[in-house]
């Protein structure tokens, strides 16, 4: 189930393409209303290109978000407090034992009032919930399995009683 959720919950960079009333392409940068110019194709300037790509990369690229969380937590499981070895591969932190956990599970986004239908809603749910650093923590593989198992067993026991937010 979770893998299906993951594949559907992506905001592709092409989704930021926007057009004016006459159907002419506008700069992809969300704060800009100018038309693109060469050589930038989807942007009106190098500045807009750089600003948008940096914003997109840090907010919508999971490997970047995950690496930021591992670094913030000192490569240490936030439950059992064990520190684990890590390495960098292609600018991102890799560890066989560390995982990035959503404190409030992703599957609850609709129950919390989020929708994933328009670009604006996709941006909102991704930034405010899915990739929000305050809802993410570093955990080891064993603790993550235990947390997920506890959440799922509580979910099925208390089904129909509302949102379950216990996740320790």
**Domain segments of the chain: what residues?**
11-60, 62-168
Burial tier of 101 (Cβ tally within 10 Å: 0-12, 13-18, 19+): buried
Beta strand spans in the chain (E)? 18-19, 25-26, 87-89, 92-94, 98-102, 136-140
Kindly report the pTM of this predicted structure.
0.71
* Phi, psi (rounded to 5 degrees) for 68: -60, -40
Task: State the Cα angle at 81 between 75 and 83, rounded to 5°.
Answer: 35
Average pLDDT over residues 50-71: 88
Q: Is 104 helix (H, G, I), strand (E, B) or coil?
A: coil
pLDDT tens, 79-125? 999 998 887 777 777 888 999 999 999 889 999 999 988 888 988 99
pLDDT for 7 = 44
Strands 18-19 and 136-140 turn out to be unpaired
Q: Mean pLDDT for the chain?
A: 85
Which residues have C-beta within 8 Å of that of residue 90, sequence separation ≥ 6? none
Question: What angle (nearest 5°) sits at the alpha carbon of residue 137, between those of residues 132 and 140?
Answer: 150
Q: What is the pLDDT of residue 6?
A: 45
126 vs 162, residue with greater confidence: 126
Query: Is pLDDT larger for residue 93 or for residue 129?
Result: 129
The mean pLDDT of 40-44, rounded to a whole number, is 91
Task: Look at residue 16 and tell me whether its pLDDT is greater than 60.
Answer: yes
Please, which residues have CB within 8 angstroms of residue 57's CB and are 6 or more apart in sequence? 64
CA-to-CA distance for 17 and 34, rounded, in angstroms? 12
Residue 161's pLDDT band (cuts 50, 70, 90): low
Statement: residue 1 has pLDDT above 60: no
Q: Sorting pLDDT into bands at 50, 70 and 90, what band is 158?
A: low
Residue 37: CA count within 13 A, CB half-sphere? 7
How would residue 135 be classed by pLDDT, with cut points 50, 70 and 90?
A: very high
């Amino acid at each position: 189930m979770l893998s299906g959720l993951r594949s559907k919950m992506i905001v592709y960079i092409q989704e930021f393409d926007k057009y004016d009333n006459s159907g002419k392409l506008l700069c992809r940068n969300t704060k800009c209303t100018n038309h693109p110019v060469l050589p930038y194709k989807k942007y009106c300037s190098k500045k807009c290109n750089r600003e948008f790509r940096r914003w997109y990369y840090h907010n919508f690229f999971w490997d970047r978000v995950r690496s930021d969380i591992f670094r913030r937590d000192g490569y240490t499981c936030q439950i059992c407090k064990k520190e684990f070895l890590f390495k960098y591969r292609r600018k991102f932190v890799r560890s066989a034992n560390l995982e990035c956990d959503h404190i409030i599970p992703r599957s609850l986004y609709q129950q919390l009032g989020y929708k994933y239908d328009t670009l604006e809603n996709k941006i909102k749910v991704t930034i405010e919930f899915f990739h929000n650093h305050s809802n993410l923590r570093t955990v080891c593989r064993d603790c993550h399995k235990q947390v997920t198992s506890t959440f799922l067993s509580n979910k099925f026991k208390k089904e129909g009683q509302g949102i379950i937010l216990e996740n320790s």
